Amino acid sequence: MSLTLAILGRPNVGKSTLFNRLAGKRLAIVDDMPGVTRDRRSGEGRIGDIDLEIIDTAGFEDAQDGSLEARMQYQTNQAIKIADVALFLIDSRMGILPLDSFFANWIRIQNIPVILVANKCEGKAGEVGLYESYKLGLGDPIAISAEHGEGLASLYQALLPFVEQLKSDNTHISDNTSAAIQMAIVGRPNVGKSTLINTILGEDRLLTGPESGITRDSIGVYWQYKEELIKLIDTAGLRRRSKIQNKVENSSAKDSFRAIQYAQIVVLVLDGNVTLDKQDLTIARQVIEEGRILMIVVNKWDIVNNRAQALKNLEDRLQKSLPQVKGIPIIHLSAFTGQNIDKLMPSAFKILNVWSKRISTGKLNQWLSTMVERHPPPIKSGRRIRIRYITQAKTRPPTFIIFSSKGDELPEAYSRFLVNGIRTDFNLPGVPIRIITRKGNNPYVD
């Protein structure tokens, strides 16, 4: 069982740096600009022999209205509700600011144990803030440097009593999160990715709003669907590279593409009134090149005026621009109202089974004989290429090895002909199929 830590504090005190330090890798985006983190992000970490579930939060903001800052504060409040311990960070080099005092008073009345952590204590510059921190009334501060990894032994000692008190909680999702199916939700800004995940979960887990570019980090949320554990990954909106103007947005884009690389299923969310512009196609091609499952969700379907025309436009664009993957699952829904949301997961598991399908070598070679007889390979250097054998090397995505007399000289057009044949004859719609050609005879002839 992991000890759950919520890392709290005003903006730019080093919360995300400490999160990355405890996680042992760079998960959260870090920048000197205040307010980079907006949502709460969870990750697995470790300090000594203590397993941790770490929650990075947005910087405390004194906002009570419906502003973005107020919605960020709501997500921080939710983090406190599920955490076992709160780490309240201050910046020792800056000393105690009024916002530190304001939220120290607030957190003292919350129902959670608090450990005061004085960050950026490397060198003498942090000594003043360390002494000033006693007036916050949160006990003895623990001096650390998250950036340099100093003081973590003291933090470990402070956490030990809470580990002893930690008891099994049957409401927690199984700790075997490595078996979770990863589903990344991607798309352009403001198409409703975070709203879609909130509707699936039935709670306001992720920060949403009309402002463009709210999500910056890729946020993973575990969710139980029937017998399966799913990790839903919310990602930052992806704009064209030419429109990315700052380092934070560039880091967000890289984070989103990493989510695509590690996901099994990638859900490309479109705005029903726009559907598949150039950037959408760029994202779709990236998913296909990575060999991931691509699903398309046409969101905001409840406010599309001419649905018949929208359907036709999408179908025409897919046939013209993504001919290499036929039969991509498409779900038309409204994340805001929940319309057709129940169709998403059954469609996802159906295509997951296709992506994981294995075909026997005997059936493949019977099929290959028919295909070669019907449409012989082309002539190369005065001699016809002879295709001798085919076998499936792996699944996820379905990958096949073909042995021929000319190896990798088999023309691309003929490889596409074989891919289309495999897709049709073995019922593999909507998933990327890879063919690797090698020179040689049937390796199992003896």
Give pLDDT tens digits for 171-214. Answer: 444 455 567 899 999 998 889 998 999 999 998 877 665 655 56
Q: Is the pLDDT of residue 270 over 90?
A: yes
Strand pairing class (114-119; 142-143): parallel
Both 312 and 391 in one domain: the answer is: no
Q: Band of the pLDDT at 252, cuts 50, 70, 90? A: confident
The reported pTM is: 0.69
Tell which residue, 103, 92, 106, 96, has the closest CA to residue 135: 96
Instruction: Map residue 262 onto helix, strand or coil.
Output: helix
Can you give the three-state secondary structure of 320-341, one letter per residue?
HHCCCCCCCCEEECCCCCCCCH
Classify burial at 202, counting beta carbons within 10 Å of its beta carbon; exposed 0-12, middle 13-18, buried 19 or more.
Answer: exposed
The pLDDT assigned to 35 comes to: 47
150 DSSP assignment: B
Report H helices in 116-215.
127-132, 152-165, 193-201
Q: Is the pLDDT of residue 66 over 90?
A: no
The pLDDT assigned to 179 comes to: 79
Containing 223, the helix (H) or strand (E) segment is strand 219-225
| Average pLDDT over every residue of 125-132 | 78
Contact of 310 with 275, CB cutoff 8 Å: yes
Residue that finishes a domain, picked among 355, 376, 393: 355
Residue that finishes a domain, picked among 130, 165, 200: 165
The pLDDT assigned to 172 comes to: 46
Q: How far apart are CA 79 and CA 123, in angstroms?
A: 32
Q: Band of the pLDDT at 325, cuts 50, 70, 90? A: confident
Both 191 and 114 in one domain: the answer is: no
The percentage of the chain sitting over the pLDDT mark of 90, rounded to a whole number, equals 44
Task: Please indicate, yes or no, if residue 411 is contained in any of the structural domains.
Answer: yes
**Residue reference for tokens 């073909």:** 402
Both 291 and 275 in one domain: the answer is: yes
Contacts 24+ apart (CB under 8 A), 66-69: 68/38, 68/207, 68/209, 68/211, 68/214
How many Å is the Cα radius of gyration of the chain? Answer: 26
Lowest pLDDT segment from 136-150, 294-308, 371-385: 371-385
Both 275 and 320 in one domain: the answer is: yes
Both 307 and 189 in one domain: the answer is: yes
Both structure tokens of 80: 């406190």
Angle at 139 between CA 168 and CA 1, to 5 degrees: 15
Q: How many domains are contained in the chain?
A: 3
Both 245 and 327 in one domain: the answer is: yes
Strand order across the beta sheet in which 228-234 lies: 219-225, 228-234, 181-186, 265-271, 293-299, 330-332
79-103 residue pLDDT tens? 788 889 999 999 998 889 988 998 8
Contact of 188 with 249, CB cutoff 8 Å: no
Strand ranges (DSSP E) for 369-433? 379-380, 383-384, 387-394, 399-404
Q: How far apart are CA 88 and CA 69, in angstroms?
A: 19
Both 147 and 11 in one domain: the answer is: yes
Both 130 and 248 in one domain: the answer is: no
Compute the mean pLDDT over every residue in the chain, rounded to the nearest whole number. Answer: 84
Strand pairing class (3-8; 293-299): unpaired
The pLDDT assigned to 170 comes to: 41
User: What DSSP string runs through 76-132?
Assistant: HHHHHHH-SEEEEEEETTT---HHHHHHHHHHHTSSS-EEEEEE--SSGGGHHHHHH
The percentage of the chain sitting over the pLDDT mark of 70, rounded to a whole number, equals 84
Both 242 and 295 in one domain: the answer is: yes
288-323 residue pLDDT tens? 999 999 999 999 999 998 999 999 999 999 988 888
Both 199 and 291 in one domain: the answer is: yes
Domain limits for position 431: 361-439
